[in-house]
Amino acid sequence: MIGGGRIGRGRRTISRLAWTRRIVPAVLACGWLAILALGAEAQDGNESFEIGLSTSTISISSDFTGARLVVFGALDNADSRLLRQQRYDIVVVLAGPRRPVVVREKERTFGLWINRGSETFESVPASYALAATRPLADIARKELRERLSLGIDDLQLTNVPARVAGGPPVAGGSAAVAEIQPNVGLAERRAIAAGRPPETAAVDAYAEALKRIRERKGLYNQSVGAVQFVSPTLFRADLQLPADLPTGTHTARAYLFRSGVFIRESSEPLYVRKSGFESYIDDMATRYGVLYGIAAVLLAIFTGWFGRLVFKRD
């Protein structure tokens, strides 16, 4: 009996050891999976932020000489350690209404300037202002800047919305958007549709010329260091708007980056409208084009007749 009891206790001890050897690896595996899940969640980022504008409407009158727009925002659920290390970056962009643009190249021939070639871009922002915490090359890689259309050099001159790799397409986009090449003109798209090799270099030259012209006019501008954190979680950006700011609906977008990784974006509309007597004339010409044309002709006839009476020689 004594020998049988010892054998039974030995068998139970062996059984407990075998159970322990099976359960411990399972517990460790569950722990590693939990750690990996937390790491993946941290990689995706829980940060969120909202932005606001110093004004939602800008009125343009005859004495308008430009304006300054302040974009402010608050960062929520940010990592305090990364904040201390200044690993968060903000890029603020104000893009004007998109319109079709034809870029022509002129050549002097026998004393005359003749159109040598042209390229049509279906959707080009009428104005573009950017402010960033640091140089864009230090914030994100070039491929990401092209997808987000960040910076004048990487600004996309097409009406096809870009899509971030691994993320959902922008509203109105599709899964095939990621395959669209930057600065694709109308001629290049027709060549692609017809199966011919597109002249990408020529299209890029027209795109660069358009950007260069608008930079000289002040319609396109960007500044580094214009976005500042006024507190650990509050930031503001100063955007300078030109005197010939186009009317229409502009869109202010703020992009949040963490250690070079794009996290989120937030946007707000900005309405630019004419005011005063110029607004009345513009509205009348738009709504009542025929009556406006007749009134303009009658005014010209009356002005000529009245001028003849005043300056008539006896």
pLDDT at 123: 86
pLDDT at 15: 56
pLDDT at 96: 94
pLDDT at 215: 93
pLDDT in tens, 255-267: 999 988 999 999 9
Delimit the domains of the chain by residue range. Answer: 1-44, 47-278
Contact 97, 271 (CB under 8 A): no
How does pLDDT run along the chain (314 residues), one tens digit per residue?
Answer: 444 555 555 555 555 545 455 554 554 555 544 444 444 433 445 888 899 999 999 998 888 889 999 999 998 888 888 888 888 999 999 999 999 988 888 888 888 888 888 888 888 999 999 999 999 999 999 999 999 999 999 998 873 333 343 344 443 333 333 333 445 545 555 555 655 555 555 668 888 999 999 999 999 999 998 999 988 889 999 999 999 999 999 999 999 999 889 999 999 999 999 887 777 787 778 888 888 899 889 999 999 888 888 887 65
CB atoms within 10 A of CB 205: 16
Query: What tokens were used for 218?
Result: 């002040």
pLDDT at 48: 85
pLDDT at 13: 53
pLDDT at 128: 95
Residue 118, classified by CB atoms within 10 Å of its CB into exposed (0-12), middle (13-18) or buried (19+), is middle
Contacts of 244 (CB under 8 A, 6+ apart): 217, 218, 219
Contacts of 303 (CB under 8 A, 6+ apart): none
Contact 93, 253 (CB under 8 A): yes
pLDDT at 283: 78
pLDDT at 300: 92
Going 195 to 200 to 206 to 208, the CA torsion angle's sign is positive
Going 40 to 171 to 48 to 154, the CA torsion angle's sign is positive
